[in-house]
A = this chain, B = another copy of it.
Amino acid sequence: MTDKKPSINDLAKKLNVSKTTISFILNGKAKEKRISDSLVEKVQKEALKLGYQPNLFAKSLRTGRTNIIGLMVEDISNPFYASIAKLIEDKVYQNGYKIVYCSTENDKTRAKDFLAMFNTLSVDGCILAPPKGLESEIKEMIEKGKNIVLFDRKFGSKLTDTVMVNNQQGMYSAVKHLIERGYKNIGLVALALVKPEKEDRIIGYKQAITDYGMIPYVYPLPFKTQHQEYVADVKLILSQNKQLDALLFGTNYLAIAGLEAINQLYLKIPTDIAVVCFDDHDLFRIYKPGITVVAQPIEEIAQTVIDTLLQNMQKPASEKKPARTISLSTTLIIRESS
């Protein structure tokens, strides 16, 4: 039944050539090892004919490299992360790597388990948007020589190369825009995974509010797995804070919940309440009215992440550069909601 795949030994026997030579040829070292063209051709032809596929596990066991990259995000079904995953996929496969993904749901324990999985899998590199509290685990992996690039989330200390969007500035520009449009009581509904004062998007908001002498209204929310809870939260916020004439949302799913809440309360956008969201989404582009957003440069994020990781993986551990943090700019896309 299960035809055994041909091994390098099968090839060797069949051709009466040592497996050393075959290995050299199949790994493109024929020239270097000065193997005769005729032999090279013979081996290649036969390998093709038998459909020879080197056993990656034997290879990994021997070389210590796996060509697997671990991708860890908050939620792979969130369009932001899903788009990143798609873009990373292309670039990574072109380079012969594979991706194993997982979603943390901002759960530290869950994330730890996945990190352990990546370790057991001996991934060559990791792309992580880690939850809070994983700093020491990640540090440990880096010290053991694992290549890791962080994105979307960073830690206080510069652990490793990190690709971020300028959250503070992006949110600042959104607030500024609302103020310039004449809105007076601008609220912010944002995820606060730990302390609100440490969240860049909240910091950017506060900065702008302060600079323009307005009153801040921050509504930090913990991460929840049930979308409907967010809807209920925003409804409560809106009904308890009638003074609000504009509402900012820190992530796409919060804004989606916000739109649902606004609908359920029969409020009109932007006359009753203006809306701006951090992070774009099909919905915001097509919704009526169109929702103003602070768009993240998704392609640029993916490209930078993968370039950084691949570069690091090519470099020997000895010549590692100090960790860099790359900050990308957001774009304010003004639509009809503000």
Binding site for B on A (CB under 8 A): 1-3, 53-58, 60-61, 66, 68, 75-79, 82-83, 85-86, 89, 93, 98-103, 113-114, 116-117, 119-122, 143-145, 256, 259-260, 263, 282-283, 285-288, 317-318
Known: A122-B55, A286-B287. A100 touches B103 (CB 8 A): no
Q: How far is the CB of A255 from chain B (nearest CB, A)?
A: 10
Majority SS of interface residues in chain A?
A: helix
In the complex, the answer to whether B122 meets A56 with C-beta atoms within 8 Å is yes
Q: Which residues of B contact A263 (CB under 8 A)?
A: 286, 288
Across-interface contacts of A66 in B (CB, < 8 A):
57
Name 5 A/B residue pairs within 8 A (Cβ), A-sorted: A2-B144, A56-B122, A77-B82, A85-B101, A256-B282
Determine the distance from Cα of A1 to Cα of B100 in the docked complex, in whole angstroms.
Answer: 26
Q: Are A58 and B61 in contact (CB under 8 A)?
A: yes
> Contact partner of A75 among B86, B101, B122, CB < 8 A?
B86
- The 4 tightest CB contacts between A and B, nearest first, are A2-B145, A77-B86, A82-B82, A57-B60
A114 / chain B contacts, CB cutoff of 8 Å: 93
Give the number of copies in the complex.
2
Closest residue to A113 on the B side, CB-wise? Answer: B93
A286 and B256 form a contact (CB under 8 A): yes
Q: What's the nearest-Cβ distance from chain B to residue A211, in Å?
A: 33
For A227, the closest partner residue in chain B by CB is B282
Q: How far is the CB of A252 from chain B (nearest CB, A)?
A: 9
Asked if A54 and B89 sit within 8 Å, CB to CB, the answer is: no
List the B side residues contacting A288 at CB < 8 Å: 263, 287-288
Residue among B54, B56, B119 making CB contact with A53, cutoff 8 Å: B119
Q: A76-B86, A102-B89 are in contact. Are A61 and B54 (CB under 8 A)?
A: no
A100 to chain B, nearest CB (A): 5
Report the Cα distance A157→B136, complex, angstroms: 53
Question: Considering the chains assembled together, what is the distance between the CA atoms of A75 and B89 in angstroms?
Answer: 10
Question: For the complex, what is the distance from the CA of A102 to the CA of B98, rounded to whole Å?
Answer: 9
Q: Which of B58, B60, B76, B120 contacts A85 (CB 8 A)?
A: B76
Q: How far is it, in angstroms, between the C-alpha of A301 and the C-alpha of B197 when the chains are bound? A: 42
- Bound state CA distance, A155 and B203, in angstroms? 54
Partner of A77, one of B68, B75, B85, B287: B85
